[in-house]
Amino acid sequence: METELSRKLGIEHAIFGFTPFPAVAAAISRAGGFGVLGAVRYTAPDDLKRDLDWMQEHTDGKPYGLDVVMPAKKVEGVTEAEVEAMIPEGHRQFVRDTLAEHGVPELAEGEASGWRITGWMEQVARNQLDVAFDYPIKLLANALGSPPADVVQRAHDHGVLVAALAGSAKHARRHAEAGIDIVVAQGYEAGGHTGEIASMVLVPEVVEAVHPLPVLAAGGIGSGEQIAAGLSLGAQGAWLGSLWLTTTEADLHSRALTAKLLAAGSGDTVRSRALTGKPARQLRTEWTDAWDDPSGPGTLPMPLQGLLVADAVSRIQKYEVAPLLGTPVGQIVGRMNSERTVQQVFDELTSGFERAVDRVIRIAGRSRS
């Protein structure tokens, strides 16, 4: 599963695995892919340093990268407390009422929320980069489009390639103009923040729009056959995220959530603003239904929504309140019906890829004859 990009990065398979779990990212790199650690949870630089130290010890010298959430435009002089003050009381009451309706206990006195969407803030992301560039990362990916120009330049000065996610050819062209090295064409089927164009349409459009920049196919990919399809559309690799959530190395801290993922079908996700204020594909739950109900107050824009629901999400997760319990995940969840190691997933991906290539070769051979 080699491409020009995989050879450039020194990896065996052109499989890029995004994950918030260091153990998963390291296992992806050891398996011959490229592990990308999501940094949005690391609001404290020392926590990121701890896990990058661990990655260094457990990747066997294989390359890996970091994914940040960083807006291209900087908002000056705004603190988290000032942003939280913008949240209307009516929305806070709606959260309290929804949690009370489902009997969700309070956190213990003095217990802080374990889930905060603060990695979007300019200074938080920059603090992450101050740590990351002390490590031999090979790729910096940004989930909110092109990072600021000085960050792109700083990465290049460290010999680090920069990738950015795009949901349309228009977005992809902006990335190319901003000096991005790799464009991740993320289709509608993907988990997390995603656009409205399906992968089969999006990938070739992006490949054409940014040629000769390398493109990674993302969204709805969970088999080797699908990776082969992405490469046949012109991509130089596949970007996979949701598939790793049910691997044995993943640390979801919730058997109930793992069980929901294993039982879910491809129709059990919804693209909702309930989590962050931007459309993000996630498991459909009574929590997402409540926020999407026209009779409710509606969601707030990013970052207000994420700050509003942070404590609520922590409570739902801690007490495993099944009707409300969810996570960002793509439509590929329908294939995630057993717990496997990362290596087992890779074995299935590579064998599926070989089957697909052999099938196409046989078809092409018959056509020529």
Can you give the pLDDT at residue 119? Answer: 46
Contact 120, 332 (CB under 8 A): no
Task: Give the whole-angstrom CA distance, residue 321 versus residue 40.
Answer: 24
Q: Is 333 helix (H, G, I), strand (E, B) or coil?
A: helix
Are 257 and 237 within 8 A, CB to CB? no
∠ CA 108-110-111, rounded to 5°: 60
Residue 164's DSSP bridge partners are: 142, 183
Q: How far apart are CA 12 and CA 10, in angstroms?
A: 7
Identify which of 202, 198, 197 has the alpha carbon closest to the alpha carbon of residue 234. Answer: 202
Round the average pLDDT of the chain to a whole number and report it: 93
Token digits of residue 30: 């050891």
Token pair listed for 21: 């779990």
Q: Which residue stretches of the chain have pLDDT < 50?
A: 119
CB–CB of 40/123 below 8 Å?
Answer: no
Place of tokens 């349409």: 201
**Cβ atoms within 10 Å, residue 163:** 24
Which residue blocks in the chain are alpha helix, DSSP H? 4-9, 22-30, 45-58, 80-84, 89-101, 122-132, 149-157, 169-177, 199-210, 224-232, 255-263, 286-292, 304-318, 342-368
Strand-pair category, 182-186 with 64-68? unpaired
Q: How far apart (Å, rounded) are the C-alpha atoms in residues 235 and 3? A: 9
- The whole-angstrom separation of Cα 246 and Cα 239 is 17
Domains of the chain: 4-71+120-249 (3.20.20.70), 85-116+253-324 (no CATH)
Phi and psi angles of residue 175, each rounded to the nearest 5 degrees, phi first: -60, -45
Q: Say what the pTM is.
A: 0.93
- Alpha carbon of residue 215 to chain centroid: 16
